[in-house]
Amino acid sequence: MKVQLKNRVGTQKLIILATLLALFVFFSLMRPNFASYLNLMTIALSTCVNGILALGATFVITSGGIDLSLGTTMTFCSVMSGVSFVSWGFPIWLAIIFGFAVGAVCGAISGFAITKMKLPPFIATMAMQMMTKGLSLVVSGIKPVYFTGSENYKRIAMGNFLGIEGFYNAFILFIVIIVVAHLTYSKTLLGRYTTAIGSNQEAARLSGIKTDKWKILIYVVSGLFSAAAGLVMSSRLGSAQPQLGAGYELEAIAAAVIGGTSMSGGEGTIVGTVIGAFIISVLTNGLRTMAVSTEWQTVVTGFVLALAVYFDKLRRERRERA
Amino acid sequence: MTQNLIKMVGISKEFPGVKALIKASFHLDAGEVHALVGENGAGKSTLMKVLTGVYTKDEGEIFHKGQAVEIQNIRHSQDLGIVMIHQELNLMNHLSVAQNIFIGREERGRLPFFLNDQTLNKKAAEILRHLNMDIDPTAKVGELTVAKQQMIEIAKALSYNSEIIIMDEPTASLTDAEISDLFRVVRILRDEGKGIIYISHRLEELKQISDRITVMRDGETIQTLSTQEASTDTIIRLMVGRELFIEKEQSTLPGDAPVLFEARGIQCGRMVKDVSFQVRKGEILGFAGLVGAGRTETARAVFGADRRSGGKLLVNGAPVEIHSPADAVRNGIAYLSEDRKQYGLLLGLDVETNTSIASMKDFLRGKLFINFQKACQNAEEKVSELDVRTPSVKQLVRNLSGGNQQKVVLGKWLTRNCDILIFDEPTRGIDVGAKNEIYKLLRDLAAMGKAIILISSELPEIIRMCDRVIVMCEGKVTGEVVGEDINQQRIMEYATAREENKQEAGK
């Protein structure tokens, strides 16, 4: 029984890992320079932002909710952080912390709207998406906010780790965040209750769990991941770009779902989500190296998403029949 | 002397329009299995909900180990060691056995924030071993059988150090082997001095497991007897009570009416086992039984809503293939579900749309455009035929009363020319006046030559309306009664499935 179970959880991860490898081999064969060191680093870098957002999505979706504000909250956090640094004269470390605080507050507001005002998560977070999108433009005056005066800010993401050329600090940041997310998801009370609420909210409530409190906390966590992604993004660009962000949430949700997170809640893994994020960026990058246009890249990604969810559904049905 | 765990005295509870409990009393001692029996709506659940703090009583007193208590909420009852194991289990399928048992009381690890699942598993394994259950604490609950999930609920109850365990129809979906396993665990608990309240309607089962039986009827606790002294006949007599005089409707069934619909050996899941029946043109065939007997499931299987694993269906003597509701409707079978709002009606649309929606092909002009005139005409016909109280056919169905909504559903199926009408609890949630109208309607439909299957949990309704009654218990047909034999006593005997009756029904 025990072995069987572990096998099952394993199969799902193995399948997506195999998919990732197959894509990788395919593109390497088609275009030799796909597997070049430089291109691989590019893929890894483009995965960082989406990957971090997808981790936030994993928590929210596992709890049975959804967060459509991931992308725009990310932008809002970096804009606020930039404004606090440039216009309000915050020291850079405080500006960064302020960015996280903004993310947490946005998440708390969404969580409050969902639990106390009883708005459906889709609506509550869509409202948050619109508000953060608008506020980013208002606060920045629709101009990028440059982190001028702090040479080191760009190094947070783009510095070479231990001086290795092309191996950016962003990767280390990403890995640390993945580890923290994984431990939180599988080893802490927050992770346990996220799964419990997503699996059967009423049962969780009747077991004496304060489901409202934990759900708010889950959206706060999602906001913190947005802020982290915002930090990486703005550091990479050296500026907060207020017009960026919309659409990122869908790619993040796609990564989580491809990685095996169940939209009906209760199920998911951090490792799966990370693989899912890599599948998306390998696909996008590979198609680009094959000179496929951006429009068609989007079509293919959509197709892969539908296919991934379909196979996952088949797998679940087979399991239920067994 | 045995210790008294719970003493409920003179408990009354009134809901708007219903006296759910009238001076009910109930005693539970340590080390006993005390069965609570009664017909649907006798007040068993309400009494238990008062005990667990889901409802607050209007009147009466509760003593916990001799101390008077006012149970405010579920939390409070849990603190007193009272736990109820519901029919729908409250577990989280995606979590492991141990995680479920200790949900809300997780073991913390050495580092802050971290959980210690090893200790949790060990503690869970201890409880499971204590109950002699062979279940892996790390297994995911969703992958266990219902019987094992139930054991997890019991283990969870014990982990709270509960002394009073209420089980609501625990054997409803278990196999015989699983039942004996459950009984073994219940006996372990009893021998340890816990008090178990066991709600069930399977009388032969109560004989095996209970020490005392309390019978409830119409919100009152009628009598408490020791199981050894109570004969099955006595229990049934107490459950049914004094025979109420129910005036039977005049049957409109002609003696030579042909069989319109027949089901042979229907099998579907665990709730429908080898069910066969016939219904004649112009006949009202009742389906009686207690909640969970498999009547709705039979209807759904016949209608093609759930996949059958066996059985044949015949319309007008010819075999028909029914694999989906669409097939059923094509063969003239309509199912009017108990939950009209969810399954039967488009509440936000008007009467006209609702009556034509199942037969849109008949209301087209050309191939694409809707012939509103015709749809409107049809709706008006049905409204007058069925006497639907609505200002116009443009009225939104949401704004109609329950009884009138029921008629609109019916209008939809009559528009579709359905001759075999399955009514599932048609009068639930409808006031008395509207009920009488529904009864008249059923009789009129029968007189029009429709074959009617009436599923109802209200015996007076069955007795009043039906030409013939099929009684089910535990997914099987346990009896069939006709004419003068349609009375409470006979139906309850079959509905509680006494062994000798099963044989009689099989002859």
**Who's near A321: CB < 8 A, 6+ residues apart?**
none
DSSP secondary structure letters along B441-504:
HHHHHHHTT-EEEEE-S-HHHHHHH-SEEEEEETTEEEEEEEGGG-SHHHHHHHHTT-HHHHHH
The per-residue pLDDT for range B240-255, each reduced to its tens digit, is 775 555 667 777 777 7
Chain A residues lying within 8 Å of B92, measured CB to CB: 195-196, 199-200, 203-204, 266
Residues in chain A: 322
Q: Are B72 and B178 within one domain?
A: yes
Cα separation, B102 vs B89, in Å, equals 15
CB contact under 8 A, B93 and A266: yes
Which stretches of chain A sit within 8 Å of chain B by CB? 1-2, 5, 183-184, 187-190, 192, 195-196, 198-200, 202-204, 206-209, 266-267, 319
Q: How many domains does chain A have?
A: 1
Q: Answer whether A256's CB lies under 8 Å from A276's CB.
A: yes
The Cβ of residue A21 has, within 10 Å, a number of other Cβ atoms equal to: 11
Classify residue B340: in a domain, yes or no.
no
Q: Are B76 and B126 within one domain?
A: no
Classify residue A3: in a domain, yes or no.
no
| Residue A182 domain boundaries | 38-311
Classify residue A278: in a domain, yes or no.
yes
Q: Are B208 and B322 within one domain?
A: no
Q: Are B40 and B176 within one domain?
A: yes
Q: What pLDDT band is residue A270 in, cutting at 50, 70 and 90? A: very high
Nearest CB neighbour to B103, from listed A1, A2, A204: A204
DSSP helix/strand/coil, B175: coil
Chain A residues lying within 8 Å of B138, measured CB to CB: 2, 5
Q: Are B138 and B7 within one domain?
A: no
Classify residue A322: in a domain, yes or no.
no
Q: What pLDDT band is residue A236 in, cutting at 50, 70 and 90? A: very high
Which pLDDT score, from 0 to 100, does residue A5 have?
Answer: 45
Classify residue B253: in a domain, yes or no.
no
CB contact under 8 A, A209 and B91: no
Which pLDDT score, from 0 to 100, does residue B503 have?
Answer: 43
Q: What pLDDT band is residue B505 in, cutting at 50, 70 and 90? A: very low
Strands B284-288 and B468-473: parallel
Average pLDDT of the segment spanning A251-278 = 93
Chain A residues lying within 8 Å of B112, measured CB to CB: none
| Greatest mean pLDDT among A123-137, B115-129, B170-184 | A123-137
Nearest CB neighbour to A189, from listed B91, B94, B106: B106
Interface test with B, best of A190, A207, A210, A217 (most B CBs within 10 A): A207
Average pLDDT of the segment spanning B325-341 = 83
Which pLDDT score, from 0 to 100, does residue A108 have?
Answer: 98
Find the distance separating the first CA and the last CA of chain B, reported in whole Å: 50
Q: Answer whether B331's CB lies under 8 Å from B459's CB.
A: no
> Does B377 have pLDDT greater than 50?
yes
Between B231 and B80, the higher pLDDT residue: B80
Average pLDDT of the segment spanning B208-227 = 91
Average pLDDT of the segment spanning B227-246 = 77
Average pLDDT of the segment spanning B456-467 = 87
Q: Which of A64-68, B82-86, B397-401, B461-465 is least confident? A: B397-401
Q: What pLDDT band is residue A16 in, cutting at 50, 70 and 90? A: confident
Q: What are phi and psi of B4, to 5 degrees?
A: -90, 125
Classify residue A7: in a domain, yes or no.
no
CB contact under 8 A, B139 and A206: no
Cα separation, B493 vs B507, in Å, equals 17
Residue whose C-alpha is closest to residue A113's, from A188, A205, A215, A261: A215
The per-residue pLDDT for range A273-308, each reduced to its tens digit, is 999 999 999 999 999 989 889 899 889 989 988 988
Q: Are B64 and B108 within one domain?
A: no
Q: How many domains does chain B have?
A: 4
CB contact under 8 A, A189 and B109: no
- What separation in angstroms does the CA of B336 have from each of A170, B344, B440, B446? 61, 7, 17, 16
Which pLDDT score, from 0 to 100, does residue B40 have?
Answer: 72
Classify residue B249: in a domain, yes or no.
no
Looking at CA atoms only, how far is residue A75 from chain B in angstroms?
30
Q: Please give the share of chain A, as a percent, with pLDDT higher than 90.
A: 70
Q: How many CA atoms within 13 Å lie on the side-chain side of B65? A: 8
Nearest CB neighbour to B95, from listed A183, A190, A199: A199
Classify residue B300: in a domain, yes or no.
yes
Classify residue A1: in a domain, yes or no.
no
Q: Answer whether B164's CB lies under 8 Å from B195's CB.
A: yes
What single-letter DSSP state applies at residue B51? Answer: H
Q: Are B229 and B294 within one domain?
A: no
Closest residue, chain A, to B116 (C-alpha): A187
Classify residue A10: in a domain, yes or no.
no
DSSP helix/strand/coil, A229: helix
Between A175 and B54, the higher pLDDT residue: A175
Cα separation, B48 vs B214, in Å, equals 13
Looking at CA atoms only, how far is residue A101 from chain B in angstroms?
21
Residue B493's Cβ-count burial label (10 Å; 0-12, 13-18, 19+) is buried
Instruction: Note the Cα B59 to chain centre separation in Å.
Output: 28
Interface test with B, best of A182, A188, A261 (most B CBs within 10 A): A188
Chain A residues lying within 8 Å of B124, measured CB to CB: none
Q: What pLDDT band is residue B1 in, cutting at 50, 70 and 90? A: low
Chain A residues lying within 8 Å of B104, measured CB to CB: 204, 207-209
CB contact under 8 A, B115 and A187: yes
Max Cα-Cα span within chain A = 62
Classify residue B252: in a domain, yes or no.
no
Check if B140 contacts A (Cβ < 8 Å).
Answer: yes
Average pLDDT of the segment spanning B258-284 = 91
DSSP secondary structure letters along A233-294:
HHHHHTEE-TT--TTHHHHHHHHHHHTT--TTSS---HHHHHHHHHHHHHHHHHHHHTT--H
Cα separation, B182 vs B147, in Å, equals 8
Q: Are B2 and B53 within one domain?
A: yes
- What separation in angstroms does the CA of A204 have from each of A189, A215, B95? 13, 12, 11
Q: Are B396 and B429 within one domain?
A: no
Strands B18-29 and B4-15: antiparallel
Of B143, B160, B177, which closes a domain? B160
Classify residue B185: in a domain, yes or no.
yes
Average pLDDT of the segment spanning A179-198 = 94
Number of A/B CB contacts below 8 angstroms equals 66
Please give the sequence-ordered ranges of beta strands (E in DSSP) within chain A, or none if there are none.
145-146, 239-240
Which pLDDT score, from 0 to 100, does residue A102 have?
Answer: 98
Which pLDDT score, from 0 to 100, does residue B410 have?
Answer: 87
CB contact under 8 A, B139 and A1: yes
Q: Which of A20-24, A253-257, B76-80, B230-234 is least confident? A: B230-234
Check if B103 contacts A (Cβ < 8 Å).
Answer: yes
Residue B151's Cβ-count burial label (10 Å; 0-12, 13-18, 19+) is buried
CB contact under 8 A, B103 and A187: no
> Does B260 have pLDDT greater than 60?
yes
CB contact under 8 A, B114 and A183: yes
Check if B114 contacts A (Cβ < 8 Å).
Answer: yes
Average pLDDT of the segment spanning B141-163 = 88
Residue whose C-alpha is closest to residue B481's, from B496, B491, B493: B491
Of B213, B242, B271, which closes a domain? B242
Classify residue B294: in a domain, yes or no.
yes
Domain CATH number, residue A69: 1.10.3470
Nearest CB neighbour to A203, from listed B74, B90, B113: B90
Classify residue A91: in a domain, yes or no.
yes
Chain A residues lying within 8 Å of B136, measured CB to CB: 1-2
Q: Which of B86-90, B223-227, B321-325, B479-483 is least confident? A: B86-90
Cα separation, B367 vs B358, in Å, equals 16
Cα separation, B244 vs B223, in Å, equals 19
Classify residue A214: in a domain, yes or no.
yes
Which pLDDT score, from 0 to 100, does residue B275 have?
Answer: 93
Which pLDDT score, from 0 to 100, does residue B16 have?
Answer: 77
Cα separation, B344 vs B440, in Å, equals 21
Interface test with A, best of B75, B96, B103, B145 (most A CBs within 10 A): B103
Q: What is the ipTM of this complex?
A: 0.82
Which pLDDT score, from 0 to 100, does residue A10 have?
Answer: 66
Q: Are B424 and B315 within one domain?
A: yes
Looking at CA atoms only, how far is residue B62 from chain A in angstroms?
23
Please give the mean pLDDT across all residues of chain A.
90
Between B483 and B321, the higher pLDDT residue: B321
> Does B70 have pLDDT greater than 60?
yes
Of B362, B389, B417, which closes a domain? B417
CB contact under 8 A, A266 and B113: no
Domain CATH number, residue B69: 3.40.50.300
Nearest CB neighbour to A196, from listed B95, B109, B136: B95
Q: Which of A106-120, B112-126, B232-246 is least confident? A: B232-246
> Does B501 have pLDDT greater than 50?
no
Average pLDDT of the segment spanning A162-168 = 85
Which pLDDT score, from 0 to 100, does residue B200 have?
Answer: 84
Place of tokens 């940041």: A173
Cα separation, B411 vs B398, in Å, equals 16
List B residues 258-317 in contact with A (Cβ-Cβ < 8 A).
none
Q: What is the dihedral of CA B415, B421, B422, B425, to 10 degrees?
A: 70
Nearest CB neighbour to A1, from listed B94, B109, B136: B136
Nearest CB neighbour to A5, from listed B90, B99, B139: B139
| Residue B293 domain boundaries | 259-332+419-506
Cα separation, B77 vs B81, in Å, equals 6
CB contact under 8 A, B103 and A196: yes
| Greatest mean pLDDT among A177-191, B149-163, B222-236 | A177-191
Tokens of B248: 């039977």
Cα separation, A194 vs A65, in Å, equals 10
Cut 0.95: pTM above it = no
Q: What pLDDT band is residue B286 in, cutting at 50, 70 and 90? A: very high
Classify residue B209: in a domain, yes or no.
yes
**Who's near A3: CB < 8 A, 6+ residues apart?**
none
Cα separation, B228 vs B244, in Å, equals 29
> Does A77 have pLDDT greater than 90?
yes
Q: Which of A193-197, B117-121, B249-253 is least confident? A: B249-253
Q: Are B362 and B481 within one domain?
A: no
